[in-house]
Amino acid sequence: MGFARELFRRKPIGITKPAVGGLERGLGTFQLAMLGVGATVGTGVFFVMHEAVPLAGPAVIVSFVLAAMVAGLTAVCYAEMASAVPVSGSTYAYAYATLGEVVAMGVAACLMLEYGVSTAAVASGWSGYLDRLLSDLFGIALPAQLLAGPLEGGIVNLPAVVLVALCALLLVRGTRESAAVNTIMVVIKLGVLVMFAAISLTAFNADHFADFAPHGVSGVTAAAGTIFFTFIGLDAVSTAGDEVKDPQRSLPRAIMIALATVVVVYLFVAVAAVSAQPWQDFSDPEQQSAGLAVILGDVLGANWPATLLAAGAVISIFSVTLVTLFGQTRILYAIGRDGLIPSAFARVDPRHHTPVFSTVVVAGAVAALAGLVPLSSLWDLVSMGTLVAFIVVSLGVIVLRRTRPDLPRGFRVPGYPVTPILAILACLYLITGLGWTTYAWFAVWVAVVLAFYLLWGRRHSRLGAAHAEHPADQSTGENRGPR
């Protein structure tokens, strides 16, 4: 096989049959949808509000709408791809089936940014809400040295490390158990956020919307780009393809349910938060670690609602960390199964049917990042990875419609081909709002991953080995080869 054809060889499409001792198909539509909501709702309102509002002012509401519109366009593309390629691996698997192996590894780099960095960043923010909750309930204040890493004047962000360890233990225990715990946490945090919005709206002040877009369109676009990474939950649903009972039906339904829930909650909370205090106050350092709790305390002049919200935030962030950690392990499982990284990542524990090695490695790396490194400046880098992954999914829909028009699909993108084209253009538009340093670091990271692929992964590819054994089957686009 020529070098170019080798790089762009495509994996056959089909539902992977469960191997003996492998991943189990035990998840239904509702549990999948809750995974999507669990990975999404919480991050945008508990953390990114205080990054995005200073950029856009009250027009952050428009930023949320813009990000939601782009997410909606890509969500329907995800729904079609998930029904046509119903396997673990998410965008990586879709790219491998439609655009080729080297593109799949480039997408894998984006997904590692999405999940690894965002999981660590969210976990590191857990300490602020946990510290406030312990202080309100028991009068216990955690030592400042144990709430921040050495680069921020502390020793280690210990609560973040503990959170990642707890999530890893739960994931090792089993997928269905993790999904059940996540569902409970999602219900609780939705209730807490509805309570926050209802109370904050009692302090509604129209004057807070007077200087609506202080930094103009560029500020709105920049904030939308920062917010967009929180829609990672849509991708998280598709990472569980090998663990879904009826993937061709359940995956697209769960994605659309998760999207609708997320958009409604985001807008409700954003309007309530901005109406309750001047937008300039969102940059107050006091609000960076437990912002919504501070807002609620100021509105009521009492501690109990803020304490309740802090408890909801602790639960919410646990849920986000659990699901994004899950997504990262399943993506590495899929890449390891294809031989592009060491096969140990695809090893499944025969008792619990979970990729224990992958979970331990990911948890160790994420805990180190969350405990030692300040990551708040990397939100835009995560957004870049998310946007590129979404572009690939939308492009994959177009490619698969042309190359495999006969392929069974449980869901079809409405308005094809306009919808996927609009999704691509919208993602590109949001990318333009990100800074040049984001482009530079993103290029460096993707280059590192592709260098690993060229030096190691390409030579260990299972698809490459299959083609070497059957030279006559050296197709780059047909449904042939190993499953």
Give 235 or 80, the one with higher predicted confidence. Answer: 80
Residue 74, pLDDT above cutoff 80: yes
pLDDT at 365 over 60: yes
Judge whether residue 310 has pLDDT over 50: yes
- Please, what is the Cα angle at 216 between 214 and 220, to 5 degrees? 100
Determine contact, residues 477/402, Cβ cutoff 8 Å: no
pLDDT digits (tens, 9 = 90+) for 38-62: 888 866 676 677 778 889 999 999 9
Nearest to 316 by CA among 161, 52, 61, 128: 128
Is residue 457 pLDDT above 90, yes or no? yes
* Tokens at 15, concatenated: 């539902």
Looking at per-residue pLDDT, the higher value among 384 and 231 belongs to 384
Among the residue ranges 188-192, 334-338, 473-477, the one predicted with the least confidence is 473-477
The C-alpha atoms of residue 287 and residue 76 are separated, in whole angstroms, by: 35
Rounded Cα distance, 443 and 437, in Å: 10
What is the C-alpha separation between 429 and 47, in angstroms, rounded?
23
Residue 313 CA to its chain's centroid (Å): 18
| pLDDT at residue 132 in the model | 80
Within 10 angstroms of residue 227's Cβ, the number of other Cβ atoms is 30
Question: Do the beta carbons of residue 348 and residue 336 sit within 8 Å?
Answer: no
Which sign, positive or negative, has the C-alpha torsion 93, 234, 343, 116? Answer: positive
Round to whole Å and give the CA distance between 241 and 438: 31
CA nearest to 416, candidates 387, 435, 395, 437? 395
Q: Rg of the Cα trace of the chain?
A: 22
Question: Among positive and negative, which fits the CA dihedral 116, 157, 319, 270?
Answer: negative
When pLDDT is cut at 50, 70 and 90, the band that residue 482 belongs to is very low
Residues in Cβ contact with 394 at an 8 Å cutoff, skipping those fewer than 6 apart: 73, 74, 77, 420, 421, 423, 424, 427
Structure tokens at 335: 């890449």
pLDDT of residue 84: 87
In this structure, what token pair is assigned to residue 264?
Answer: 């409604």
Q: Which of 324, 269, 320 is nearest to 295 (CA)?
A: 269
Q: If phi over 0 gives left and psi between -120 and 50 gives alpha, with beta otherwise, what is residue 58?
A: alpha
pLDDT confidence tier of residue 172, bands split at 50, 70 and 90: very high
Rounded distance, CA 10 to CA 5, Å? 9
pLDDT of residue 77: 92
Residues 6+ apart with CB under 8 A from 390: 70, 74, 77, 91, 423, 427
Count Cβ atoms within 10 A of the Cβ of residue 94 and give its class: 0-12 exposed, 13-18 middle, 19 or more buried: buried
What token pair was written down for 165? Answer: 């360890």
Under CATH, to which class is 27-465 assigned? mainly alpha
> What does the block give as tokens for 79?
């729904």
Using one digit for the tens of pLDDT, what is the confidence trace for 374-397?
Answer: 776 677 788 788 889 889 999 999
Distance CA 139, CA 56 (A): 37
CA 160 to chain centroid, in Å, comes to 18
Q: How confident is the model at residue 474 (pLDDT cuts 50, 70, 90)?
A: very low
pLDDT exceeds 50 at position 407: yes
- pLDDT surpasses 50 at 210: yes
Average pLDDT of the chain, as a whole number: 85
Mean pLDDT of 137-155: 87
Mean of pLDDT values over 213-228: 86
The token pair at 49 is: 């509000």
Tokens encoding 416: 């094809």
**Which residue is listed with tokens 């686009």?**
477
